[in-house]
Copies of this chain bind each other. A is one copy, B any other.
């Protein structure tokens, strides 16, 4: 009997069986989120929102460390702000929620309709992103070179009217942070664009344990209105790419539209160069598809709302009081520990119900360490430890390890660090093994992605960086294979050979992949 045959996984479906359904199953079984009944919008449930709160806290610290100040800007953007920047509105006009009325009135049949008397003179757009409305504020705030750089950020909800939605990955409403900065010149703005990109790269790797490739996007994939767009791209377990964060150098596009000017040291009125950068609840989708397994989510310790859960095996008898007391003392000891420069987050789960049912609930949520404590453990000063990333024994049983309580307390912080590292290394090894660098022509590319393997990875191709119509042709060729150019990895080897699209000498390497 093989190893897998003996294991009864916690999810109703495996990644191999159907990756998309498996993804939905993790979200449901780990109680991360659910459909809300409102088209394209989800309800983020406590465990999912707890992960977002962790991401917010740790990202916000990094944003503040960089000297960026948080503000809050309006949800609504007047239509006229949008029409100031033609390229920007072209990119977003297809998918925006439009507020046209400010009051409802009875329809005479017991229902309600927008009151025709309360039609807005100018429709308002629910922000899909805030360059235009923040640009208007920057124009008010910036007068002189002394006001630069202006570094601002907001945590907010945004709405893009998506036709096909998928929880966390693409929802009509999502939560994000959007940094917006203004600078005296291109050089300073580009430094900020790359600083934000590097902040995202290190955050993804160090906090989410999610390896990413950072680099500029091709011109056809730029943010509407951007001069240059950079992304971090993560490989999901099905080999597809997920754009997990972007940073844009916007040139003077939005400064021209909103009139963001400063008086330079020579007294000249000069346009600012602006940037914007953002990450969103999409990152949670990336975490699920990077670290999930056939038993649910494995939540990296840095972002786990609870890092350790203690499950007393209550028996509804006289022994329960002593057991609970033992668990409470253990919880108190663990809560005093620090890991990743913060207090350990530990929960004593005293809810009624069977310990095994509760165990599998926490396994599916991906708590890094689960402790089950029975009456005999309490008497003997023992704990029984289940490490979420080493869940199964070869015989198909849950891989509990018994040890003295003192030994566990002494090693718990190191164990959480080890889990964080192990998840990162596992994901990196898998990712690295699935980047193909040996393809140099289109037939090879087609063959690679036509292969009868469930989860092809990425192909790193050398190309000549065509632009305009020549790039459009490349995009069409790739589209026929359901492929897109993800970005130009900043740490790639030099290009060599000829571009498979143009036949010209290659100048750089690009990542080509299927993507979310």
Segment from A91-99, A235-243, A482-490 that makes contact with B: A91-99
Within the complex, the shortest CB–CB distance from A83 to chain B, in Å, comes to 6
Pair A38/B98 contact, Cβ less than 8 Å? no
CB-CB under 8 A from A97, the residues of chain B are 76, 99, 101-102, 124
- Give A175 to B126 CA distance when docked, in angstroms: 16
Contact B73 A45 (CB under 8 A): no
Complex: A172 Cα to B140 Cα, angstroms: 22
Question: A43-B137, A99-B97 are known contacts. Are A75 and B157 too (CB-CB below 8 A)?
Answer: yes
Interface: A224 (CB within 8 A): no
Q: How far is the CB of A372 from chain B (nearest CB, A)?
A: 21
Contact A101 B103, beta carbon cutoff 8 Å: no
Closest-CB distance, A339 to chain B (whole angstroms): 19
Interface status of A136 (Cβ within 8 A of chain B): yes
Inter-chain contacts of A105 with B (CB < 8 A): 93
Closest to A42 in B: B74
Whether A112 contacts B126 by the Cβ 8 Å rule is no
B36 touches A102 (CB 8 A): no
Q: What sequence of 0s and 1s flags, for each residue 76-111 of chain A, a beta carbon within 8 Å of any chain B beta carbon?
A: 111100110000010001111111111111000011
A41 close to B (CB within 8 Å): yes
Stretch of A2-10, A46-54, A209-217, A290-298 at the chain-chain interface = A46-54
Q: Which of A64-72, A441-449, A504-512 contacts B (4 or more CB under 8 A)?
A: A64-72
Contact A103 B70 (CB under 8 A): no
- Determine if B112 and A79 form an interchain contact, defined as CB atoms under 8 angstroms apart: yes
B123 and A126 contacting across the interface, CB-CB below 8 Å: no
Q: How far is the CB of A109 from chain B (nearest CB, A)?
A: 11
From the candidates B93, B112, B152, name the one contacting A93 in the complex (CB within 8 A). Answer: B112
In the complex, A437 has a CB within 8 A of chain B: no
Within 8 A of B (CB), among A391-436: none
How near does chain B come to A119, taking the closest CB pair, in angstroms? 10
Report Cα–Cα, A45/B146, bound state, in Å. Answer: 18
A124 to B50, CA, bound (A): 28
A71: B residues at CB distance < 8 A: 43-46, 49
A181 vs chain B, min Cβ distance (A): 13
Please name all residues of chain B whose beta carbon is closer than 8 Å to the beta carbon of A455 when the two chains form the complex: none
The answer to whether residues A159 and B112 also contact, given A36-B133, A126-B99 and a CB cut-off of 8 A, is: no
- Asked if A205 lies at the interface with its beta carbon under 8 angstroms from chain B, I say no
Which chain B residues lie closer than 8 Å to A173 at the CB level?
A: 74-76
Contacts of A146 in B (CB 8 A): 352
Establish whether residues A96 and B100, one from each chain, have CB atoms under 8 Å apart when the complex forms. Answer: no
- Tell me the complex Cα distance, A505–B128, Å: 59
Report whether A36 and B95 are in contact in the complex, using a CB–CB cutoff of 8 Å. no
Residues 289-331 of A, flagged 1 when their CB comes within 8 A of B and 0 if not, give: 0000000000000000000000000000000000000000000
> Contacting A159 at CB < 8 Å: which of B37, B75, B125?
B75
A161 interfacial contact with B, CB 8 Å: yes
Residues from chain B with Cβ under 8 Å of A102 in the complex: 95-98, 161
CB of A96 within 8 A of CB of B104, answer yes
A12 within 8 A of B: no
Q: Is the pair B99, A98 in contact by a Cβ cutoff of 8 Å?
A: yes
Find the B residue at minimum CB distance from A41. Answer: B74
11 cross-chain CB contacts under 8 A:
A43-B72, A50-B70, A75-B126, A82-B104, A83-B112, A89-B104, A96-B103, A97-B101, A97-B102, A98-B99, A114-B123
Query: A residues within 8 Å of B by Cβ?
Result: 34, 36-38, 41-46, 49-50, 52-53, 69-79, 82-83, 89, 93-105, 110-114, 123-126, 133, 136-137, 140, 146, 152, 156-157, 159, 161, 172-173, 175, 352
Known A42-B74, A46-B70; further 6 A-B contacts with Cβ < 8 A:
A44-B71, A93-B105, A96-B103, A98-B101, A99-B99, A100-B101
The 3 A-B residue pairs with the shortest CB-CB distance in the complex, in nearest-first order: A41-B74, A46-B69, A44-B72
